[in-house]
Structure 1
Amino acid sequence: MIRPKLEFLSRETVDRAIDEAYDLLQDPGVRVHYDEALELLAGAGAKVDKESRVAKIRRSLAEKAVKTAPSSFYLYDLDGQPVVHYGGDDVHFNPGSAAIEIADHGAKESRVPVTADCENFVRLAEMLPQMDAVATSIVCGDVPEVMQDWYRLYLLLLYARKPIDTGTFAIESFAIMHELLVAVAGSAEALAKKPRAVFDVCPSPPLLWSDITCANLIDAARAGVPAELVSMPLMGATGPATIIGSAVQHAAESLSGITIHQLAKPGSPIVWGGSPASFDMRTGATPMGAIATMMLDCTYSQIGKMIKPGGLPTHAYLGMSDAKIVDAQTGLESASGAILGALAGINMMAGPGMMDFESCFSLEKLVIDAEIVGMAKRLVRGVDDIETPFALEVMREVGHADSFMKSKHTRRHFREEDYIPTEVIDRDYRQTWFDKGALDVNARAHRRVEELIEAYEPLPLAEDVVRDLQAIATGHAKAAGLNQLPKLSGR
C-alpha cells in the first residue's frame, strides 16, 4: 500500500536551504536576550558579542545539537498511555490556540471568553475522537492577565484525559505549569518519563530570541518536558517574500533554538514546528488561510524531516480560517490546510476551531473541523491493496446484475474504506433534510456541540489530585491578586 505523500522540494533544494540556514547562524548570527542562553552558547564555542547580544553559532555546534535531539517521542494521556507519536509521517490534530476572543453561535460579534467557555471547550474537545490532543485554546478574560497562561492548563488538567499542547506567556509561568503537571503525574520523574504536555516556544522574527522564549526552552529541556518550536516569519514583512526564503529563515531560527535547548540538556525532546504566514500587502493582515501559508508550512516541515537521518518531529498551525463567522470560507481554508498538512506528513497540526487570524475560537467550527480531520486522516491511509485477489472472488460470487450489499466482503470492508461522518455532514435526501428541519451546517454543528458537551462525563481524578491542583491554583491566584478562583460548573 502506498501512503499518499506531498513534497514541495527536491532533495537538492532541501540541502541548499539547510546549508543557507546554517550559514545564517554564523552570519549574521542570532540575537539572544537571555544571559543564561548566551552563556550556554559561549561555553560551547559560539562567538558571543555581549554588547549586541548576538551569538554566531558555528555549523558543527548546531549539527551536534540536531544529532542529539530525538527523532521521535510520545505524548501520553491521563492513564499513561502513549497517544500521540511525534515522528516519521504520523499525523495528529489538536485544536488551535490561543484565542483571546470567542464566537458564539449565530453572532457576528465576538467577545472575551471566560472560565465557563474554557470548560465547555475542553468538554467538547475531549468528546471529539478526531482530536488526538487538547490545547490551551481559550484565554480566559475573567482572571488577571498574569495568570491567564497557567490557568488554562489548570482547567484542562481538571477536565481532559488527552495529551495537551500548551505554552507560557511569562518566564515565571513555566514553573507553575510544571508544578500543575507534576501534581497529576505524581512526580517530576514520572512526568519526564511519560510527558503529558508539549510547550510551544516562539522565536521573534527575524533571528531573535527573547528572554521568555529562551527561559522556556531551557526550563523545558531540563525538566524533560517536550518543547515545540514555533518560528513564524511573515513573508515580505518579518521574513523574505518567497516561500523558500522564509523557509530558510524558519530553519535558521529553529536550528538556533535546538542548539540552546540541547545545550541545556542533550536528548530532551523538541519539535520542528512553526506558525509562519503570508503577508497581505493590501491590508497588513497575516492570513493563516492563504495557500502560500499552507505551502510554507509543508515546505518547512519537509526540511525538518530531512535535516538529519530520521528527521525531527514536526508541527504546524493548519486547519484554520481567517473568516469572522462560520461560513463557506472557514470550510474552504480549514479543509485545504488540513488536507495539505496531512499529505505532507506533519506530525501535529494545531488549528481546528480557530479563525480570524488565529485570534478567535468557535465551538461550531471545531465540530466541523473534526469532520475535515476525519477525512484527512482517511486520505493519508491510502488505498489498501493488501487483500488478494482484489475483486475476483467477490465479483464471481455476486455474478451478473446482483447486489453487493448482502456480500460478506461488503460487511467486512464498508466501514473502514470510507470515513463515515456524523450528521454534521449532510448525507440525507432532500425530503429527509426538510423533515429534519432543513438545517445548514452551522446549525447542525451547534446541535452537535450541545449534544457532546451534555454527554461529557467528568474525569475520575483522585480527590487528592484535585485538591493538589486546586491548592496550587489558589495559591498562585492569590499571589496574582485574585482571592478566589472563578466557580467551576463541573468541579
Structure 2
Amino acid sequence: MTDESAAPVSSGRRGRSGGGADARRAARTATTITQAGFIRRAIKPYEPFTDEQLQLIEDNAEIVLQETGIDFYEDEEAVQMWKDAGATVTQGNEPRRFRLRFPKGLVRSLIKTAPREYVQHARNPANNVTIGGNNTVFAPVYGPPFIRNLDEGRRYATIEDFRNFAKLVYMLPSLHHAGGTLCEPVDVPVPKRHLDMIYSHIKYNDKPFMSSVTSGERAADSVAMCELLFGKDFVDQNCVMTSLINANSPMVWDGVMLGALKVLARANQACVISPFIVAGAMSPVSTVGTLTQLLAEASVGIAFTQLCRPGAPVVFGTFAASMSMQSGAPTFGTPEPAFVTFGAAQLARRMGVPFRSGGGLCGSKIPDAQAAYESANTLWPTLLSGVNFCLHAAGWLEGGLASGYEKLIMDADQLTMFQKFAEGVDFSENGQAMDAIREVGPGSHYLGSAHTQANFQTAFWRSSLADNNSFEQWQDEGSKDIVVRANAKWKQMLRDYEAPALDPGIDQSLQDFIAQRKAVLPDSMS
C-alpha cells in the first residue's frame, strides 16, 4: 500500500486550521473503527508476596541506594540536580561518570508527588486511556529491526512496514494504544527516522502513541509535533505521550535516556521507567535479588522525573526475562520472570504509581507453538498481576528482534480473550440464569431455552481466527492453519484500511516542521 493515497488522521481540534470543507468531507467518508476501549479489570490482582516479604525487598533496595549506589553517565546536569537534592556524588572510573548514593528515604520522599494514575489523551478523545488503578492498556510490539511475514520470511524493516503496522494497530480494537517504534525503518537515516515514525502515528492512527527517546533532541521533536497537533498549552497541562525510558542495567543511568527523560518530564509527558533486566546477566539469578535491584534502579528514575517536574506522570516499569544458563540467550514464558512481574506489580502499588510489564513475549523465530505457549505464559501473569501499561502485547517474535505481521494478528485475537476474562463473572439476574434452570428442568437441554436464545451471541468468547469446524470441513476449505488465516486477514485489513480524518492545516504544519528539521539533520545512517 502507498501511504500517500490514504486520507489523513485527527481530531482537528487544535493547531493551524485550514480546508474546513475538505476536513468535514474526510470526516464524513472515513471508516468508523469500533474500539473495545481499555480494560477496566473487575478481577483482583494475584499477589503472591506478603507485606513482610515486600518490606524486606524495599529495605534491601534502600541499602543498595545508600551503600552501592547508582552510576549516572554523561549527564552532569542530572548529577548536579541530585546533588542539590541531597545525594552524595563521587567521581567514577571514567570521565563524566559519577557514582550517586542516596540517604535513606530521599528517593521515596520525592516519589510522593507522582500521580497514582493519569489520562493519556489521544487525538480522538474517544480513544483516551487511563493508565493506573484497575486499568490495563495493551500496546503493540516495540523496537525490532526486522519484520517477518509468511510471504517474505525475515528481512529488515522499512518505513512502509512501519506505516502498515500503524494502520493495522488502528484497526485492531484489542490494542488500546498505538505504541512507539513498531519496527525500526532502516531505510530512513537514524537522525531523521523519528520524524517519519511520529508522523505515521499521527496520520494513520488516532490512538495515543509514544515519543522518540533515542536522544533528548528527538524527544523534543516529538513534543513539538504534539504541540502542533494538540496545541502548546494543552500539551503543557495534559499527557499526550507515554514513552519508554530504560535504565542501563545493572545500576547505570546513561546520558541518552536521561536526556530524553528530562525533556519529556519537563513537558509533563509520561515516562515509563523500565530497567531492562535479563536475570542472570543484568541482575542476580534469584527472584528476590532481581526485585531488589529492579526497585533500586526504577525508584531513582521515577524520583528523577519528579525532580524535573513535580507531579509529572510516571510509570514503574520492568522488562522481565530470564537467561538460558547454557546458551546465554533470553528465555520467555518461564516461572521466574512471572514472579518478578507479580512482585514488581505489588511494589508499584505500594509506591503509589502505575505499573508496566509483560506482553506477548517469546523467543521463537516464527509464529509457531513455541511462540504461542511462551506468549500465553507471559500474558497471563501480565493480566493477573494487575499490569497497567502492557508494551509488546502483540507482534513480538525472536526475543524482540522481529515484528511479525501474522503474530500481530494472532496475538490481538488472544487479547480479546484477556479482555473478556478481565470483566470477571456476571452475577446479575441474567447471569444467575434461574429462569433458564426453571424452564428446562431435569433431563432436557438448554439449546432452545429463552435464556440461551437471548444470550447465544455473547455468552462465550469466540476467536476470530481459530478453526473449530469438523476435520472434513477444514480440509475442504484448504487445510489452512492459523498462520495462513492470519496472513490473509492482515492483507485484507490493509486493503480495507481508511485513515481517520486529519485537519489539512494540522497535516501541513506537521509536514512543514518535518521538512525544516530534515533540512538541518544529517543523512548519516548512525
Q: Distance in 2 between matches of 1:416 and 1:195?
A: 35
Q: Is this contact kept in 2: 1:96–1:317, CA < 8 A? A: no
**1:145 alignment partner, one of 190, 194, 206:** 190
**8 Å Cα contact 1:237/1:279 also seen in 2:** yes
Partner in structure 2 of residue 341 of structure 1: 382
Q: 2:99 aligns with which of 18, 37, 54?
A: 54
What amino acid sits opposite 1:67 in the alignment? K
Paired residues of 1:66 and 1:258 also in contact (CA < 8 A)? yes
CA RMSD in angstroms comes to 2.1
Residue 406 (structure 1) shift: 4.1
Q: TM-score, normalised to structure 2's length? A: 0.86
Aligned length in residues: 477
The 5 A counterparts of 1:25-424 are: 25-33=65-73, 34-50=75-91, 53-81=98-126, 83-108=128-153, 110-136=154-180, 137-187=182-232, 189-307=233-351, 311-351=352-392, 352-387=394-429, 390-422=432-464, 424=465
Q: Displacement, 1:336?
A: 1.4
How far 1:190 moved relative to its partner? 1.0
Following the alignment from structure 2 to structure 1, what is the Cα–Cα distance between the partners of residues 110 and 359?
Answer: 28
User: 2:242 aligns to what SS in structure 1?
Assistant: strand
Deviations 1:279-338 (A, max 9, x none): 11211212244442333223212211222xxx2101114212111111111111111111
| 1:314 maps to amino acid | F
Deviates more, 1:228-237 or 1:192-201: 192-201
Q: Distance in 2 between matches of 1:123 and 1:436?
A: 29
What is aligned with 1:3? 43
1:185 Cα deviation from its structure 2 partner: 1.0
Return the offset for 1:194: 3.7
Cα deviation digits, residues 372-428 of structure 1 (max 9, x gap): 211122222222223378233221123345553444433444444422221x11122
Q: Would you say 1:472 and 2:513 are equivalent positions? A: yes
8 Å CA contact 1:161–1:459 kept in 2: the answer is: yes
Which structure would you say has the larger RCO, counting Cα contacts within 8 Å and 6 or more residues apart? 2
Q: How many percent identity over aligned positions?
A: 25
Distance 1:348 1:405 in 2: 40
For 2:439, the aligned partner's letter is E
Deviation, 1:83, is 2.9
SS at match of 2:475: helix
CA distance in 2, matches of 1:471, 1:206: 42
The question of whether the paired residues in 1 share the 8 Å contact of 2:358 and 2:381 is answered with no
Give the direction of change, closer, same or farther, for the CA distance of 1:270–1:481 in structure 2 (3 Å limit).
same
Distance of 1:101 and 1:84 partners within structure 2: 29
Q: CA–CA distance in 2 between the matches of 1:399 and 1:192?
A: 63
1:40 CA drift (Å):
1.2
Q: 1:390 to 1:80 in 2, by over 3 A?
A: closer
Are 1:437 and 2:482 counterparts?
A: no
SS at 1:173 equivalent = helix
Q: What is the distance in 2 between the residues matched to 1:482 and 1:368? A: 37
How far is 1:444 from its partner?
0.4
Work out whether residues 95 and 353 of structure 1, in 8 Å CA contact, stay in contact via their aligned partners in 2: yes
Q: Is there any run of 5+ residues in structure 2 with no aligned partner, and where? A: 1-40
Instruction: Give the partner amino acid of 1:453.
Output: L
Q: Classify 1:336/1:56 alpha carbon distance in 2 versus 1 (closer, same or farther; 3 Å).
A: same
Deviations 1:12-68 (A, max 9, x none): 111111111122111111111211111111111111224551111223221122211
**Which secondary structure does the structure 1 equivalent of 2:143 belong to?**
coil
Counterpart residue type for residue 96 of structure 1 = V
1:370 CA displacement: 0.8
Distance in 1 (CA, whole Å) between partners of 2:127 and 2:425 is 27
The two structures have a TM-score, normalised by structure 1, of: 0.92
How far apart, in 1, do the equivalents of 2:211 and 2:327 lie? 30
